[in-house]
Each structure stands twice: as C-alpha cells, then as structure tokens.
Structure 1
Amino acid sequence: MSLLDKVKDAGVIGAGGAGFPTHAKLAAKAEYVLLNGAECEPLLRVDQQLMEIFPDEIIKGFEVARELVSAEKGIIGIKGKHKKVISILRDRIIKLQIGDVLEVKELPDIYPAGDEQVLVYELTGRIVPEAGIPIQVGCVVVNSETALNIYNASIGKSVTEKYITVSGNVPNPLTLKVPIGTKIIDVLRLSGIDNFNDYAVIDGGPMMGPVMKSLDGYVTKKNKGFVILKKEHPLIRKKSVEMNQARRVNRASCEQCRMCTDMCPRYLLGHGTQPHKMMRAMAYNLEDVEGQKIAQLCCQCNLCELFSCPAGLYPKAANLYFKQQLMEKNIRYKASKDNFEVRQAREYRLIPSKRLIARLGLREFDKSAPLTDITIEPETVCIATQQHVGAPAISNVNIGDYVEAGDLIGSIKEGTLGATIHASISGIITDIENNFITIRRE
C-alpha cells in the first residue's frame, strides 16, 4: 500500500478546523510544503504543545507530506515567541539528517498568522490569488496535528482521537486527548465547571469560533478547542448577535471610515476585499451584484468586527450576508488577474496578538493550558459520518456488530471527495441514524 493510500485509509483530515481530506491535498505536486504551527487563535494551546512533545513524529509526518507532493522544500512556520519549541524542532531536524529539505522559520506574533494565505506569504513571499488556494502558487499547507496524524497513518494507525484545549473563564484550563465521538459536555466539565447555566461556550477560537447553541454535541476530528466564558462577557454578547440585528445596527451607524478594509489581512495582501463597501451596500440597499462579489473574498477571520471597527459594528456580518445571497444565486467571484502586490501599509497594520487579546477582554484568561494525562473513557461514542469537507462517509457496519478501536466503520462514497471514519472505542454498534454511528463500550 502506498503512503498516500495509508493517509486516505486512516481518515486523516485537516485538524486545524477546516477538515479538508488530507489525501486529496497530498495528491497534488508542489514546490513547497508548509507546516502551519502558528495557532494564532487566542487561548488555544494544542499545536505548540504537540510540537514540543512529539517533534520527531510531527517532523517525520511532515517529511512524508513533502515526499508525497514532491516538494523541494518543507518549511515549518511557528511564532518566534515559542523559543523552546523552535529550538527543539531545529535540533531534531539536524539529528534526523533532513536539514537540507526541512527548515523552521519564525513568524511574527500577529493575528491571523495562521490564515493559510498569510502563512504562505510570510514563509515564501508568494501571494495566493483572490479566491484561490495555496497550490496555485506551488504550496501545500498542513497543520501540526495533521502532520502527527500523517505519521501515525504511515505506521498503520487511524485517526480515532483528537487533541483539544479547554480554556477561558475556568478554574482548570487544560489540553487533553479524547476519543472522537465523546460527548462535548464531558470534555467541558474537566475545566472545573459543572453547571453551565451562566456560561456560554465558543466552539474553536474566540475570533472565528461560533457560540454553541447547545452543549449536546460530540467531538469530531475538526474540533480544536472550547473557550468557556460567562454569558455576559462582551465577546459572547457580540458573537451572539443575529444577522437581522447586525444589519439594523450597520445601517444606522456606519460612517464609512473604512478601518474594516484598511486592517483586513486579505486586503493588505493586495486582494480586492473591501468590507466597508459591503457596509455601504447594506446601508443603502444597493443592488450592484458585480460590486457585491468581493464579499466572497472574505476569510471570516473576524478582525474587522472584533478589532478594527471603532464603532463596534458588524462588517464581517455584512460580508457574510452578501456572500450567502450570491451563493443562493449561484454567482461566484472570478479573479481578473493572477499577480498581486502587498499594499505598502501592511507592515504598519499587523495586529499584535497581545493587543488583540486585550481588546477581546481575554487578558486575564490568557494562561497556559497544559497537556494532561487525564483520560476520558466514554461508555458510548457517537461518531459523525460527516466531520470533513465533502460527502458523508458510508457506513459499512450493522447494528449489533462488534468493532475494535481503530476498525473502519465508514468508507468514502465512490467518486466523491470524503474521508473514512473509524471506531474510537471497542464495543457494539447500537445505532446508525441521523448521520451518526453509535458504539457502546464492551
């Protein structure tokens, strides 16, 4: 079996939150393969710890990725503030005698350093075209945990567990490894909070993660972390605003200062995204469909909404509103050029992480969340058949079947983009419905 087939059969997907099937990404040919170790979302602590604890495995998995895409060079991007991790990685690359093809480059401590297109520019100087992806400039990007999973796949181990940070306004911020399909509430309770009546939970980082409407879900391969805050925290109130309310506020208050555009990471890379124009279109009910297409260039980093706007308005919501309108009409933006130049002001408009954390009201919660040996052994797991980009996995088990942890329980539908899923515990299949496969421990 080829290495690419091993990655495919193991169910490896983008572990940073996007969930794109890794075997499809590694089927391309590229000049560079880049490891995204930026972890730029505040309060999340998975990648930096994995690189410190499992440097050899991550480097070897990254090298597998480099070989599969036939890249001349592999570059690990990590923020310069993580001195210890950088030293460990550089030392291990030398010891593994692959310094001629792999190197570590330091990233500035800015948000969003982990955005794929920002990362490509910072590490290679290349600019991904509007509405494009890194392969268009000869780059393939993988996350640190994804590289670890690629290594595990190379030795025959499927993706059955997920590393997650639980942080925020909690007594016990921590990072831990849990079986996929574990109840989210069981993970949250390890933070030291048992009653969540006064709390809200952000699924992911505080910038891009949504506020969870229910805590009844289950861990998937895409979960990265959970940020727990009091319901009255300004960030929760801001992120909980519905689209209709955001539209009313935008129409009433936007003064067209264009700070949302001037601070936009994609605009600063030379792209045409301009959220202030979407605010204008919303305020005056403009029907210029051609002008609205630039909303599709928004990466939803939320910097405009949670940092840039001096009036506390909702420019990201404006982008999202027009993006949804265009999707419903099947209208897509098409770039009119291939070459882009960074705007001259970019170096003066990069947002330091510490300043962002202070603006979000999270400074007192910006603490370490150490990777612990705490284990969760759920009696049942509910494994989603679609926890990745593409078509849902097709169940290949029946109710009453016994499966061992690591066994294949869902295959890729023929002719589609997708990913396999595997049993995360040993036990009996008790249910197959509502896009979940349930296993009871035996």
Structure 2
Amino acid sequence: MDLLNLIKDAGVIGAGGAGFPTHAKLTSKAEYILLNGAECEPLLRVDQQLMEQFPDEIIKGLEAAGRSIEARKAIIGIKGKHKEVIRILRERITALGLVDYMEVMELRDVYPAGDEQVLVHELTQRVVPEASIPLKVGCVIINSETALNIYHAIAGKPVTETYITIAGDIPHPVTVKVPVGVPIRDVLNLCGVANLDDYTVIDGGPMMGPVMNNLDGYVSKKNKGYVLLKKDHFLIRKKSVSLNRARVIGRTACEQCRMCTDLCPRYLLGHNLQPHKIMRALSYNLGDLKDQQIAQLCCECNICELFSCPANLHPKSVNILYKQKLAEQGIRYQPTQVEFKPRSAREYRLIPSKRLIAKIGLTAFDKPAPLTEIEFRPETIRIALRQHIGAPAIPVVAVGEQVKAGQLIGKIPDNSLGAAVHASLDGTVVESTEHSIVIKVGSYV
C-alpha cells in the first residue's frame, strides 16, 4: 500500500489545527516540506517535548511526507530557545543520513511564529499571497505530532491518541497522551484542582482558544491543550465578551490609532488586512460590505485584541462579525495583486513571547508541563465522527459489537474529503449515531 493510503487508512489529520486530512494535503507536489515546531501559543508544551522524546520517529515521518510530495528540502522550524531539542534533532538527522535533505532552522521567540504564513516567510523568505495557502509558494506544512502519526501510520498504527498540555493557574501543569474519546473532565482532573467551579477552561492556547461553556465534552484528535484560569482573570473576562457586546463597545470607543493594524502579522507580511478600517466601518455604520472584504484576511491570532489595542477593544471580534456578514451574502475577497513582500517595519514590530505572556497576565503560570505517563480508565468513551475538516465518517460498527483499540469504527464517505475514525480502547459499542459512537470500555462491560 502506498504512503497516502496508509495515512488515509490511519485517520491522520492535522494535529492541533483545524484538522485537515493529511492524505489530502499530501496529494500535491511542493518544493518544501516544513515541520511546524514553533508551538507559539503560550503555556502549551506538546511539540517541543515530542521532538525531544521521539526525534527519530518525527524525522522519519517528515522525510516520508517530503519524499511523497517530491520536496527538494525538508525544514524543521523550532524556536532557538529550545537548544537541547535542536541539538538532539540535528544529531539524529546526521545519524540517519539525512543532512543533504533535512535541516533544522531556528525561529525567533515571537508570536505568532507558528502561524503558517509567518512560518513560511521565516523559513523560506517567501510570502503566501492573500487569501491563499502555503502550497501557492511551493510549501506544505505539517506539525510535529502529525509527523509522528505519519510514522505510526507507515507501521500500520492508526490515530487513537493525542497529546494534551493542561496548564494555567493550577498546581500541576502536565502534558499527557490521551485516548481519543476520553471525557474532558477526566483530563482536567489531573491538574490538581479539587473544585473546578471557580475556574474557566480555554480549549487550546490562551491566544486563539475559545472559552469552554461546557466541560462535559470528549477529547478529539486535534485537542492540544486546556488552560485553566480563575473566572475573574483578565483573559477570561476578555474572551467571554459576546460578539454583540464587542460591536457596541467598538462603535463607541475606537479612537482610530491603528495600532491593531500596525502590529497585525498578516499586514506586516504585506497583506491588505487593516483592522482599524474595519473598526472605522463599524463606528460609522458603513453599509457597503464589499469595502470590508479585507476582514476575510484575518487569521484570528488575537494580537489586535489581546495585545495591540490601547483602549482594550475587540478588533478581532469585529473582524469575525464582518466575516459572518460577508459569508451570509456570499462575498469573497478577491486579491488585486499576485506577489507580496513584507513591509519594511516588520522587523521592528515582532512581538516577543515573554512580553505577550506578561501583557495577558500569564507570567506566573509560564512553567514546564512535563510529559507524564498516565493510564486513563474511563467507563465510556465517545468518539466523534467529525473531528476534521470535511464530511463526517460513516459508522461501520453496530450497537452490541465488541471492538478492539485501533479498530476502524467510522469510514470516509465515498468521493468525499474526510478522515477515518478508530476505537481508542477495547470495549462494546453501546450507542451509534450520525455524530458519534459511544463505547463502554472493556473493564466496565
């Protein structure tokens, strides 16, 4: 079986991002295969530890992906501060005889170094065009855990686990390997907090992750972190503001200082995204949506909202509001130029991670979260059939059927973009719907 089918059968998706099926991403040829090891979200510690503990597997997974797309070069992008990880990776690349094909490049400790378009420029000096993807400039990007999962797929092992950092205002920050479908509360219980009622949880990193209104969900393949903070923390209060409230505040208080634009990473790459103009349109109730199409260029990194704005307003939320309005009217941004170059001020406007962490009130919680072996013993697991971009998987097991860890339980619909889904633990199927499959775990049957 060829590599793409092995990856497809294993259900590999982008780990930690939107969950794009990896077999589909690797169908195109490209000049570069880039490994995103930046992990630029504050407090998260997955990628750096995976590269340290599984360097050979990640290197081989990256090489396999690169050879598949006929890339002439594979580049691992990792922040220069991770000196020991860099040393290990370079040593193993040499030992595996891949020096002529693969290299490690050190990234600056800035946010958002892991944004795919920022990463492309930092590693290749190319700029991805507006409203486009890295493939347009000859690049394909995967992250560390995706490369690890590609390595496992080659060995016939499907994706049944994900690595998650639990961090924040807690006694025991930790990174763990979690079977897909485990109750989120089981993961949160590892943090050392006896009563979660005083806390709010951010799903993912503190910059881009949303506040969770319900903790009764289940872990998916693309979960990467949970950040727990007291309910009165600045970040929680800011993230809990509704879109409508953000609209009202923006209309009454924006002073058009344009700091949101001046520090926007996409604007600094040469794109036409200018959040202050979107705020102006809101303030003056400008009705022609075609003039606000630039909102669709926003990557929602949240710099404008959580770092730049001196008035503590919500430019990102206003961008999202206009994105929704544009989508409702079927309006899509149409670039007017093909080639882009970074603005001359970019080098002086990059945001140091430590400064960002201080600004959003997380310095006291910026601690190691060591990768720790934990055995999860849930009574039931619920495995979503849509953990990825594309069509949901179709169940291939019935209620009452016994399944083994790694067994296929959901297949990709014919002629559709999607990802296969597998049981993460042994057990018996007790519920099967179009949305998920519930398995009673073996020891509880």
TM class by shorter chain equals over 0.9
* Residue 249 of structure 1 pairs with residue 252 of structure 2: no
2:33 is matched with which residue? 33
| Residue 370 of structure 1, CA deviation | 0.2
Question: In structure 2, how many angstroms separate the alpha carbons of the residues matched to 1:175 and 1:139?
Answer: 30
CA offsets 1:178-227 (integer angstroms, 9 cap, x no match): 10000001100100113111100000000000000000000001100000
Matched, 1:87 2:87: yes
The 1-side partners of 2:288 and 2:118 are apart by: 29
Q: How far is the alpha carbon of 1:12 from its aligned partner?
A: 0.2
Partner of 2:282: 282
Greater shift, 31-40 or 191-200, is seen at 191-200
Question: Deviation at 1:441?
Answer: 1.4
Residue 434 of structure 1: how far off its partner (Å): 5.7
Counterpart position of 1:102: 102
The answer for the alignment partner of 1:209 in structure 2 is 209
Report the more deviating stretch, 432-441 or 300-309: 432-441
Partner of 1:159: 159
Provide the residue aligned with 1:356 in structure 2. 356
Counterpart CA distance in 1 for 2:257 and 2:43 is: 30
In structure 2, C-alpha distance between the alignment counterparts of 1:140 and 1:100, rounded to whole Å: 19
Equivalent in the alignment of 1:170: 170
Higher mean Cα deviation, 402-411 or 429-438?
429-438
Secondary structure, counterpart of 1:166 in structure 2: strand
SS at match of 1:87: helix
Which string of whole-angstrom CA distances, capped at 9 and with x for unpartnered residues, describes residues 134-172 of structure 1?
000000000000000000001000000010000000011
Counterpart in 1 of 2:227? Answer: 227
Report how far residue 379 of structure 1 moved.
2.0
Q: What is the aligned partner in structure 1 of residue 181 from structure 2?
A: 181
What 5-or-longer segments of structure 2 have no aligned partner? none
Give me the whole-angstrom Cα distance separating, in 1, the residues matched to 2:18 and 2:126.
Answer: 22
In the alignment, does 2:363 pair up with 1:400?
Answer: no
Q: Deviations over 1:400-419 (max 9, x none)?
A: 11111000000011111100
Q: Does 1:113 align with 2:113?
A: yes
Q: Which residue of 2 aligns with 1:435?
A: 435
Match of 1:382 in 2: 382
The 2-side partners of 1:36 and 1:18 are apart by: 14
Distance 1:118 1:320 in 2: 21
1:358 aligned partner, one-letter code: A
TM alignment of 1:37-52, pairs within 5 A: 37-52=37-52
1:80 aligned partner, one-letter code: G
Q: Deviations over 1:63-114 (max 9, x none)?
A: 0110111100000000000000000000000000011000000000000000
* Partner SS for 2:52: helix
> Alignment partner of 1:91: what SS?
helix
- Over 4 Å off, 4+ runs: none
Task: Give 1:58's aligned amino acid.
Answer: I
> Secondary structure of the residue that 1:176 maps to in structure 2?
strand
If the length of structure 2 is used for normalisation, what is the TM-score?
0.99
Q: Which runs of structure 2 are paired with 1:312-327 in the superposition (5 Å)?
A: 312-327=312-327
Match of 1:63 in 2: 63
Matches within 5 A, 1:405-420: 405-420=405-420
Residue by residue, what CA displacement relative to the aligned partner does 1:227-274 show, whole Å, maximum 9, x if unpaired? Answer: 000000010000000011111110110000000000000000000001
CA distance in 2, matches of 1:65, 1:434: 32
Give me the whole-angstrom Cα distance separating, in 1, the residues matched to 2:324 and 2:41. 25
- Percent identity reads 65
Q: In structure 2, how many angstroms separate the alpha carbons of the residues matched to 1:377 and 1:162?
A: 16
Q: Is the 8 A contact 2:395 2:434 kept in 1?
A: no
Structure-1-length-normalised TM-score: 0.99
d(CA) in 2 for partners of 1:258, 1:134 = 28
CA–CA separation in structure 1 for the residues paired with 2:338 and 2:102: 28
User: Deviation at 1:335?
Assistant: 1.1
Question: Residue 34 of structure 1: SS of its match in structure 2?
Answer: strand
Report the secondary structure of 1:197's partner residue.
helix
* Counterpart residue type for residue 439 of structure 1: I
Q: State the superposition RMSD in angstroms.
A: 0.7
In structure 2, the partner of 1:53 is 53
Distance in 1 between the 2:343 and 2:287 partners? 29
Query: Match of 1:381, SS?
Result: strand
Amino acid at match of 1:287: G
